[in-house]
Amino acid sequence: MSDTSDLSFADLNLPEPLLAALSAVGYETPSPIQAATIPMLMQGKDVVGMAQTGTGKTAAFAIPLLASIDLKKRKPQALVLCPTRELAIQVAEAFQSYASQMKGFHVLPLYGGQDMRTQLRALQRTVHVIVATPGRLIDHIQRRSIDLSELDSLVLDEADEMLRMGFIDDVETILQATPDDRRVALFSATMPAPIRRVAEKYLNNPEEIRIETAVTTNENIEQFYWLVSGTNKLDALTRILEVEDFDGMIIFVRTKTATVELADKLNARGFSAAPLNGDMNQQLRVRTVDQLKGGQLDIVIATDVAARGLDVERISHVMNFDIPYDDEAYVHRIGRTGRAGRSGKAILFVAPRERRLLRSIEKTTRQKIEPMSLPSRADLIDKRSQDFKAQVVDALANQEERAFFQNIVTEICHDNEASAEEVATALVYLLQQKRPLMPPPEKFNKPKQDRFDDRDRGDRRDRKDRGERVHNSKDERKGKNKKGRKNETGVPMESFKIHVGHKDEVTPREIVGAIANEAGIEGKHIGQIKIRDSFTIVDLPAGMPKEVFQTLKKTRVCQKPLNIERDEFDSNRAEAKEFDGRPPKKKDKKVRKANKKKDKR
């Protein structure tokens, strides 16, 4: 393949709404498979792409297909065949996001197991793109419920998987049922003979696109991968950051948006990190790199493009938070460490569905990447204790005003008949409270003590969750309300339940961040946060407007929608009043009535 490294999406003659959507999803430059495929498909050529999941192949066909959609036509113009329902949904979602600026665009996923009547109804409306599994599509062809006469593009996605799953005959039937002059793109990670035969028989003089890479890696870089499972990637990263001894670190993500989001999240967890992406002006980029070089900054979150050519000797670690598109990008990334004869370490996060990319990287680099497990709680305790001891030893040598402090210890010993060792033990206990040397087992990945208190009446809820009988207080049984709870600024508060909890490893910081950003509620107005196993109770200003409530229902934290609801156990709701940012004046009857109505909603 020719060198496409400097190509931008704007160079690909894409219509403005597509460029705007790509920028909105945060893609900086086309991945190699995109740079090679998009121009071919835009010219109407047939294409055979040797590409697997993770290379950006979905956008490689979705973007040129969308570029030629005529929104005025009602019948399907493009069809994508996928081996599984999951992939069909995923591909349909990708189309939807790239078409976000194309008003009136409709994509329809069709797969087995979904209600046939719903599909039949949907097929009667305008549909521009269909993403289907072969079996279900054949059903529709046989029922004549689908009209493929206007189809001008067909994509066979993961063709080798469709072969493996026994769909090859269905695929051929579908190819025969589509107009002869449609363009066809066939994507496959491997090229077994039956797939090659399909390509030869049905594709018209296809361009074969294969991203060849001849690359070598530096031998003084140790390489590891962690198979993403159980813990989410952010928590896994946090744990690694706490335990690994690193000098400078560069963390690679895929999008510009992700550089900023991840930097924010790490900063909120007590690490100092900065983004580095192509949207930042030159001056800011240079400043960030200088800070990394000078040691004022230890962690930089970058996209491939922004980090190209970065030469900072003190980068001891490269984290591949998102797997790169291809083997070559991986080699470029890890080459940011192990510079000037130093040794380096590279860690790669691999989701189960990205395993093939891992194997491919190993094959290309002819190096084995070793599996690693996440640091355990014991590792964390050990690391925190070592750091703590080192600080004490440092203070032993460099302490100022020693006599004054020693005097305090002597007095405590004397007044309490305690030994110096006992006093020292108490001091260690006090000092570590903000960052416990022994983090609680269920939260051991948190680098900082939470700002919010987690004690309360909530164990009653937990018992109720577990199906145990719980007795309410006398007043609650009689339906009386306790005196209204207010925050320090005098604003009446109401309790809400959100559906993330300890099992999602959520932190109060993440909850505050999401609520503050999405609902525009200032942090100071967010009250107690009580995290339970499967949910959290959070106190917010009473009388939340409906629109804010709806926004918060959909807001996601730890990749889960909050699904916020009023807390059924809250005894404070009669106090609710539409919150206007000012302390309340007087309770009034109308408000109570309004709240009763709200209860029924």
Backbone phi, then psi, for 360, in 5-degree steps? Answer: -65, -40
With binding defined as CB under 6 A, does residue 333 bind ligand AMP? Answer: no
Give the number of residues in contact with ligand AMP, rule: CB under 6 A: 14
Using CB under 6 A, which of 35, 39, 49, 53 touches ligand AMP? 53
What distance in Å separates the CA atoms of residue 175 and residue 79, rounded to the nearest whole number? 11
- Residues 7-46 touching ligand AMP, rule: CB under 6 A, are 27-28, 30-31, 34
With binding defined as CB under 6 A, does residue 332 bind ligand AMP? Answer: no
With binding defined as CB under 6 A, does residue 49 bind ligand AMP? Answer: no
Can you tell me which residue has the tokens 């498979």? 33
- When the beta carbons of 47 and 123 are compared against ligand AMP, the nearer one is 47
Closest CA to 339 of 359, 368, 318, 355: 318
With binding defined as CB under 6 A, does residue 541 bind ligand AMP? Answer: no
Least distance (Å) from ligand AMP to the CB of residue 25? Answer: 7
- When the beta carbons of 82 and 591 are compared against ligand AMP, the nearer one is 82
What distance in Å separates the CA atoms of residue 349 and residue 358, rounded to the nearest whole number? 10
Using CB under 6 A, which of 128, 182, 239, 254 touches ligand AMP? 254
- When the beta carbons of 100 and 255 are compared against ligand AMP, the nearer one is 255
Query: Which range in 48-56, 235-243, 342-350, 562-570 contacts ligand AMP by CB under 6 A?
Result: 48-56
What distance in Å separates the CA atoms of residue 333 and residue 330, rounded to the nearest whole number? 5
Query: Which range in 54-62, 152-160, 524-532, 584-592 contacts ligand AMP by CB under 6 A?
Result: 54-62
Q: Do the Cβ atoms of 344 and 221 come closer than 8 Å?
A: yes
Q: Is 539 helix (H, G, I), strand (E, B) or coil?
A: strand
Written as six digits, the tokens of 520 are 């525009």
What distance in Å separates the CA atoms of residue 556 and residue 553, rounded to the nearest whole number? 8
Query: Which range in 47-55, 217-225, 482-490, 512-520 contacts ligand AMP by CB under 6 A?
Result: 47-55
Using CB under 6 A, which of 32, 54, 275, 439 touches ligand AMP? 54
What distance in Å separates the CA atoms of residue 53 and residue 189, rounded to the nearest whole number? 8
Using CB under 6 A, which of 12, 21, 58, 348 touches ligand AMP? 58
Q: Do the Cβ atoms of 184 and 45 come closer than 8 Å?
A: no
What distance in Å separates the CA atoms of residue 539 and residue 515, rounded to the nearest whole number? 11
Using CB under 6 A, which of 14, 57, 183, 301 touches ligand AMP? 57
The one-character DSSP state at 441 is G
Least distance (Å) from ligand AMP to the CB of residue 564? Answer: 28
- When the beta carbons of 39 and 54 are compared against ligand AMP, the nearer one is 54
Q: In 10 A of CB 592, how many CB atoms?
A: 15
Least distance (Å) from ligand AMP to the CB of residue 266? Answer: 20
With binding defined as CB under 6 A, does residue 495 bind ligand AMP? Answer: no
Closest CA to 319 of 294, 350, 293, 353: 350
With binding defined as CB under 6 A, does residue 257 bind ligand AMP? Answer: no
- When the beta carbons of 58 and 178 are compared against ligand AMP, the nearer one is 58
With binding defined as CB under 6 A, does residue 571 bind ligand AMP? Answer: no
Q: Do the Cβ atoms of 576 and 598 come closer than 8 Å?
A: yes
Using CB under 6 A, which of 213, 232, 255, 267 touches ligand AMP? 255
Using CB under 6 A, which of 32, 56, 484, 527 touches ligand AMP? 56
Closest CA to 299 of 344, 220, 241, 231: 241
Query: Which range in 56-64, 65-73, 217-225, 454-462 contacts ligand AMP by CB under 6 A?
Result: 56-64
Which amino acid belongs to residue 207? E
- Residues 155-184 touching ligand AMP, rule: CB under 6 A, are none
Least distance (Å) from ligand AMP to the CB of residue 324? Answer: 10
Positive or negative torsion for Cα 336, 338, 340, 342: positive
Closest CA to 195 of 37, 85, 326, 81: 81
The one-character DSSP state at 104 is T
Least distance (Å) from ligand AMP to the CB of residue 334? Answer: 19
Using CB under 6 A, which of 37, 55, 528, 595 touches ligand AMP? 55
Q: Do the Cβ atoms of 277 and 310 come closer than 8 Å?
A: no
Q: Kindly list the residues in this chain that would bind ligand AMP in the complex (CB under 6 A).
A: 27-28, 30-31, 34, 53-59, 254-255
